[in-house]
A = this chain, B = another copy of it.
């Protein structure tokens, strides 16, 4: 598990932008090169490059170079890790915690 709030936040930041969600949807259908992604998005080339960097740094996506092209795909390790992170963040524990509450 990832117990550092900042790096958890970084993963979710990758998902809170429309353009990046579109990219992710395209990648669900399989590996794509940057130029194909670009064709189907409403942003400039450097904009895509920026968004892909955010996705890469979150661990949700990986890339691979082949000659001049860069191919991106959903990371086979990162994606399941994300799912379990979300599960852990929202799973209510049955163990009482140290915080208590106002006169309850």
Contact = CB atoms under 8 A, between A and B. Distances in A.
Contacts of A5: 18, 21-22
Using C-beta atoms within 8 Å of the partner chain, give the interface range for chain A: 35 or more
B30 A9 contact: no
A104 to B, nearest CB: 8
Nearest to A22: B5
A65 interface: no
A104 B73 CA distance: 14
B91 A28 contact: yes
Contacts of A99: 26, 29, 32, 36, 40
Interface in A5-24: 5-6, 8-10, 12-13, 15-18, 21-22, 24
Given A29-B92, A33-B102, A79-B90, 10 more contacts: A5-B18, A8-B15, A10-B16, A12-B16, A28-B90, A30-B97, A31-B104, A35-B102, A74-B90, A82-B90
